[in-house]
Amino acid sequence: MDEASKELMQESIEEPSLHADSGSKCRRAVSLDERRANLVSNVPFDAKRDPKESDAFDTSRQREGFDVIDGISVKQRVASADIALEESDEEPISKEPVYKLTLNGIVFVKNVVETEVDGIEKSGSFDLSSLKNFWKRKFKKNLSPEMKKTINDLDDHRPYFTYWVTTVQILVLVVAVFAYGFGPFGFTRSHEKGLVLVTSLSLQQVEYYQPQNPFVGPRAADLIHLGAKFAPCMRKDKLIFEHILEMRAYENETACCIRNDESGCVQTEKDKCSPLLSTWHRWSINVRESPPIQVKGSSRPRTSGSVCGQDPRFCEEPASAPPYEWPDDITQWPICRKPIRWNIREHNHMTCDLIGRPCCIGINGQCQITTRDHCDFLRGYFHEEATLCSQVSCLEDICGMIPFYSRDSPNQFYRLFISLFIHAGFFHLFITFLVQFYIMPDIEKLTGSTRIAIIYLVSGIGGNLASAIFVPYRAEVGPSGSQFGLLACLIVEVINSWEIIEKPKKTILKLLAIAGFLFVFGLLPWVDNYAHIFGFFIGFLLSLALLPYLTIKPYQKQLKITLIISSLFGVAVLFVLLFVLFYVFPVYECSWCQYFNCIPITDDWCADQDIKVKREDVL
């Protein structure tokens, strides 16, 4: 081989570049075999062509080749090309598949930038072609070498967080369905009725209405017990506890109603105790058959009571003894864990068969004294160990999870985080699956698991916190705020890539159109618009701070540092304001807030998630 041929080979090695096939519109990486064939084909030739042998060395870049060049055979030409490659200082491009990073139509490839042109779809991206065509956008063709180098230097990551969070969400819903079953399906209320035994020892027709679930999943009360966002479980709600105090004051006026035929007794008010069939035993100085009980250390007699099945004189643990005497107010009595069974025959309220005990129903802490059959029919929590509603915490039963620090002080703030992994049903989970496996992996490949986890979790927590402020009495689950944070992340990615994308304004309009559509969708019941809006803003600020920035000019680097600090400060200020509104100056009544979250098309379309009970006598 002459010197000119060797120089030509060396120049071809030292200046490897992206080349385009004559039949292709895409720029791509060049494999080792293709470069070797190009080196061979660039050598000057003067012999005649042998089609059979030359075709074996023609690649997708076809040109005239000949079997003998300057007396050198084809095999010798290939061997010379291999020697030239080995002597080259440049590291050859591997034949192994290049790891590609696709982000909404922009394909980042390690060591090379690929571009999708004229609707040609690259392999290796998530196979939702109809959706990909909507998101697809192109690089500008005149990228500077510095910009290409910046893109090539981006680290690529595996989407571990996407796989982990989606797997956990699937498992949680499966476990929830096995544990609680399915609730009624629909958008309004379902009507349930049946004959049950009530405290009057008669069968009665009992009816109740409960909210339906349009996502094919558990009931609202079960979702709350599982960990849904529900403000009364996260803070002391003034309205709910005012109702609880009213019920305790009402219960303080009750006494034991004993049936004259000795068939049983129940704690009730005087109006509901039949004077013909029963006797209402109230501790009062005017009732001779039930003399008052003196409170030790006080000259005043007891006026509150009696209580069916419980008496301070007949309880060994906890005993009513100084300085821990049981107060006169029966709503402050503890549960007697070890009663005294001897010497109680004279006291009918201690020997009668107790018919009703406390039952917690609904989602707002309601309690009523009823039978076990009635309580089970209403899907409530029956307390066999207690005799009064004031002895149980119905709100704690409804909320479940870790018990409150104090019975009257709900503190389950961790629901802001846990509810991100819970879904209202399988249809809800399917929507989450599509969003997270279509959008989230590509963003995580670009940003890394740590950054995407921060954006996902913080956006979701912020959205849930805003929802708890403005719609506190609705149980909400799912990563709605997180998904809008991801949508904001896509918009920020376009802003960061503004100089290298063709028609970036069109792309922004597409993303904003999707956000607008999802906002309208959020006006339906069980979909939370407050989580959407605040999750979007928090995700936008976090994305400005955490997403890679492609410009490399010095003044833009300083601008980026300022932008990061400002964005993180904005997120911190927003969270402080939300926590102040939730814990310090809570919003209990807001008549217009519900219309931003749900439009009442019918009477029951945006109804609350509590149950409505109706009872009629039959026997």
Q: What does the pLDDT look like over 573-583, one tens digit per residue?
A: 999 999 999 99
Terminal Cα distance for the chain, rounded: 113
pLDDT digit string (tens) for 503-556? 788 888 888 888 888 888 777 777 788 999 999 999 999 999 998 766 556 667
The reported pLDDT for the residue numbered 341 is: 79
How far apart CA 90 and CA 12 sit, in angstroms, is: 11
- Report how far residue 4's alpha carbon sits from residue 16's, in angstroms, rounded to the nearest whole number: 19
- pLDDT higher than threshold 60 for residue 36: no
User: 477 near 223, Cβ under 8 Å?
Assistant: yes
Cα 544 to Cα 477: distance, rounded to the nearest angstrom: 27
Q: What angle do CA 564, 567, 572 make, to 5 degrees?
A: 125
pLDDT at 56 over 80: no
What local confidence, expressed as pLDDT, does residue 96 receive? 40
pLDDT of residue 117: 32
Instruction: Band the pLDDT of 13: cuts 50, 70, 90.
Output: very low
The DSSP annotation for 510-573 comes to HHHHHHHHHHHHTTSTT--HHHHHHHHHHHHHHHHHHS------HHHHHHHHHHHHHHHHHHHH
- How far, in Å, CA of 480 to CA of 533, rounded? 10
Q: What is the pLDDT of residue 76?
A: 59
Q: How far is CA 509 from the centre of its chain?
A: 27
Q: pLDDT grade, residue 567 (50/70/90)?
A: very high
What letter would DSSP give residue 313? G
Residue 381: phi and psi, rounded to 5, are -110, 110
362 to 179, 225, 334, 478: CA distances (angstroms) = 19, 12, 24, 22
Indicate the CATH number of 160-171+413-597 among 1.10.3470, 2.60.40, 1.20.1540, 1.10.10. Answer: 1.20.1540
Partners of 204 in the β-ladder: 196, 617
> With 90 as the cut, is the pLDDT of residue 419 above it?
yes
Burial 322-353 (b: 16+ CB within 10 A, else e): eeeebebbbbebeebeeeeeeeeeebbbbebe
Residue 43 has pLDDT above 90, yes or no: no
Look at residue 266 and give its three-state secondary structure: strand
Is the model more confident about 522 or about 38?
522
Residue 401 DSSP one-character state: S
Can you spell out the DSSP letters for 187-211?
Answer: SSEEEEEEEEE-TTSSEEEEEEEEE
Report DSSP letters for 449-475, one per residue: HHHHHHHHHHHHHHHHHHHHHHSTTS-
Residue 292 neighbours by CB under 8 Å, 6+ apart:
283, 284, 285, 301, 302, 303
Give the residue from 304, 312, 386 showing the smallest Cα distance to 344: 312
- Residue 112: pLDDT band (50, 70, 90) is very low
- The single-letter code of the amino acid at 234 is M
Cite the active site residues.
480, 532
Q: Mean pLDDT check: name the lowest of 73-77, 394-398, 436-440.
A: 73-77
The pLDDT of residue 357 is above 80:
yes
* Mean pLDDT calculated for residue range 473-489: 91
Give pTM, 2 decimals: 0.73
Q: Which residue has the higher pLDDT, 137 or 605?
A: 605
Residue ranges covered by each domain of the chain: 3-87, 160-171+413-597, 236-409
- Which helix (H) or strand (E) segment holds residue 249: the answer is helix 238-251
**38 band by pLDDT with thresholds 50, 70 and 90:** low
